[in-house]
């Protein structure tokens, strides 16, 4: 077998013309000589240096994070150690109103009262995790009480559920109209609509109660695929770090749990919907059907999700709910955006009225032992006689 190392010409013996050579001598002369240890090192040190160079480059790229004082930009005098003044235009004590949903959230196991409604505690924790408090908007309480409560909050959240008709639909529609009016009057008043909430907005804005389509996306984690040329500035995704934005498209770190939705084609075909919402992301169901998963209003602080951002952190009933570190970051960024929008609200309600109507006046019920559904719910068995 020929040597894999090149032959050093200086080591090749030269035939002596004074001495005739035999055929065996000629054969030995044409063979490659043995490679010495020093010659082998000549071929090994090159890849070693290449590898070392790569490691040094990586170490340079991962240089330690330096504190301001280590960069020589520390405080120059005592006055610079004072805290930066807060923006007086922002409300640092925002309150979000969450609309209750018919039933007890546990298929009647906790309450079978006909007047019962509930709010899953995960929505409350979701809001609180970003620095806001919650006032429950009990859907079947007297309308004058409910809409007085609406004047105590700085934003609204519509939850998931199943109710698409009757009193609940009517109340959602009326609250949505009030939110539009508040924004048109100059108050930056955000709305988040999750799953059913998105479906109801689709029906209300399109003025078509039959517009929804069937999808097989119950109890599954999925990706989010950003639409082509999507501009995320000013949307719920604007503060996501680039690596997390990328993972949204490659990793199943959002939770889906719905049977209905709307395809991108149908949304774009409806002039009312297409002029109100821009599509940010789509997702694919178990049958590879594509549906709209996130939208943002063009002219209002209204964001709707077909998926459940609150579940990643605060629900444990299904093994399909993603709980990875990336999934937790998704929930936190989504919550932060809602509350950051609510801080822009001009509404400054009386402190005592807010305190009298906060969710803290109620106690959650643990229902997680059933192994399915919500872990905790707030149940409202009678219309509220709130202190207003």
SS3 assignment for 99-125: ECEECCCCCCCCCCCCCCEEEEHHHHH
- Structure confidence at residue 379 (pLDDT): 96
Highest mean pLDDT among 40-54, 217-231, 374-388: 217-231
Phi-psi region of 356 (alpha: psi -120 to 50; beta: other; left: phi over 0): alpha
- Structure confidence at residue 17 (pLDDT): 42
Contacts of 290 by beta carbon, 8 Å cutoff, 6+ apart: 263, 264, 282, 283, 284
* Separation of alpha carbons 384 and 146, rounded Å: 9
* Separation of alpha carbons 380 and 383, rounded Å: 7
Catalytic residue positions, numbered: 195, 308
Whether pLDDT at 5 is above 90: no
- Structure confidence at residue 71 (pLDDT): 79
CATH architecture of 95-380: 3-Layer(aba) Sandwich (3.40)
* Separation of alpha carbons 117 and 115, rounded Å: 7
Whether pLDDT at 25 is above 80: no
- Structure confidence at residue 57 (pLDDT): 63
User: Percentage of residues in the chain with pLDDT exceeding 70?
Assistant: 80
Three-class secondary structure of residue 297 per DSSP: strand
- Structure confidence at residue 109 (pLDDT): 86
Whether pLDDT at 77 is above 60: no
From residue 104, give the alpha-carbon distance in Å to each of 35, 118, 374, 375.
83, 5, 10, 12
Task: Please give the average per-residue pLDDT across 149-176, as a whole number.
Answer: 98
Task: Domain ranges for the chain, please list them.
Answer: 95-380
Residue carrying structure tokens 């009757």: 166
Could you read off the pLDDT of 262-303 as tens digits, one per residue? 999 999 999 999 999 999 999 999 999 999 999 999 999 999
From residue 387, give the alpha-carbon distance in Å to each of 148, 219, 238, 245.
10, 39, 39, 44
Task: Please give the average per-residue pLDDT across 91-113, as a whole number.
Answer: 93
Could you read off the pLDDT of 101-110 as tens digits, one per residue? 999 998 888 8
* Separation of alpha carbons 222 and 321, rounded Å: 10
- Structure confidence at residue 89 (pLDDT): 93
Task: Please give the average per-residue pLDDT across 312-340, as a whole number.
Answer: 97
- Structure confidence at residue 112 (pLDDT): 87
- Structure confidence at residue 196 (pLDDT): 98
* Separation of alpha carbons 248 and 281, rounded Å: 10
Contacts of 272 by beta carbon, 8 Å cutoff, 6+ apart: 205, 206, 207
Q: pLDDT tier at 128 (50, 70, 90 boundaries)?
A: very high
Whether pLDDT at 54 is above 70: no
| Bridge partners, residue 170, by sequence | none
Instruction: Considering only residues 360 and 18, tell me which one the structure prediction assigns the higher pLDDT.
Output: 360
Q: pLDDT tier at 370 (50, 70, 90 boundaries)?
A: confident
Q: pLDDT tier at 255 (50, 70, 90 boundaries)?
A: very high
Whether pLDDT at 319 is above 90: yes
Contacts of 306 by beta carbon, 8 Å cutoff, 6+ apart: 195, 198, 199, 217, 256, 258, 261, 283, 291, 292, 293, 294
Could you read off the pLDDT of 188-242 as tens digits, one per residue? 999 999 999 999 999 999 999 999 999 999 999 999 999 998 999 999 999 999 9
Residue carrying structure tokens 């100059």: 186
- Structure confidence at residue 43 (pLDDT): 58
- Structure confidence at residue 173 (pLDDT): 98
Q: Are strands 156-158 and 191-194 parallel, antiparallel or unpaired?
A: parallel
Residue carrying structure tokens 């990706």: 223
- Structure confidence at residue 386 (pLDDT): 54
* Separation of alpha carbons 23 and 201, rounded Å: 96
């Amino acid at each position: 077998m020929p040597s894999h190392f090149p032959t050093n010409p200086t080591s090749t013996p030269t035939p002596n013309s004074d001495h005739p050579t035999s055929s065996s001598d000629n054969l030995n002369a044409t063979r490659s000589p043995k490679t010495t240890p020093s010659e082998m090192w000549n071929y090994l040190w090159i890849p070693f240096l290449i590898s070392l160079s790569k490691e040094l480059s990586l170490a340079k790229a991962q240089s330690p994070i330096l504190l301001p004082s280590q960069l020589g930009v520390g405080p120059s005098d005592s006055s610079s150690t004072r805290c930066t003044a807060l923006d007086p235009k922002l409300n640092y004590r925002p309150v979000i109103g969450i609309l209750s949903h018919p039933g007890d959230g546990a298929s009647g196991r906790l309450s079978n009262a006909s007047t019962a409604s509930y709010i899953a505690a995960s929505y409350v924790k979701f809001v609180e995790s970003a620095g806001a408090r919650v006032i429950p908007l009990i859907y079947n309480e007297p309308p004058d009480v409910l809409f007085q409560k609406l004047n105590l909050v700085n934003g609204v959240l519509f939850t998931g559920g199943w109710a698409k008709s009757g009193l609940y639909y009517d109340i959602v529609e009326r609250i949505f109209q009030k939110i539009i009016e508040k924004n048109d009057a100059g108050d930056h008043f955000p709305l988040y609509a999750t799953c059913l909430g998105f479906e109801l907005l689709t029906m209300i804005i399109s003025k078509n109660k039959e517009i929804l389509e069937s999808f097989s996306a119950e109890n599954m984690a999925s990706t989010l695929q950003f639409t082509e040329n999507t501009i995320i500035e000013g949307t719920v995704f604007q503060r996501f770090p680039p690596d997390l934005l990328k993972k949204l498209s490659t990793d199943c770190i959002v939770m889906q749990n719905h049977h209905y939705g709307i395809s991108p084609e149908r949304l774009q075909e409806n002039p009312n919907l297409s002029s109100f919402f821009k599509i940010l992301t789509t997702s694919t169901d178990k049958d590879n059907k594509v549906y709209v998963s996130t939208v943002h209003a063009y002219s209002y602080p209204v964001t709707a999700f077909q998926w459940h951002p609150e579940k990643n952190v605060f629900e444990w009933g299904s093994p399909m709910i993603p709980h990875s570190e990336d999934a937790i970051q998704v929930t936190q960024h989504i919550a932060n955006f809602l509350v950051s929008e609510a801080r822009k609200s001009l509404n400054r309600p009386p402190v005592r009225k807010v305190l009298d109507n906060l969710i803290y006046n109620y106690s959650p019920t643990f229902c997680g032992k059933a192994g399915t559904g919500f872990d905790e719910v707030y149940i409202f068995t009678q219309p509220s006689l709130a202190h207003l």
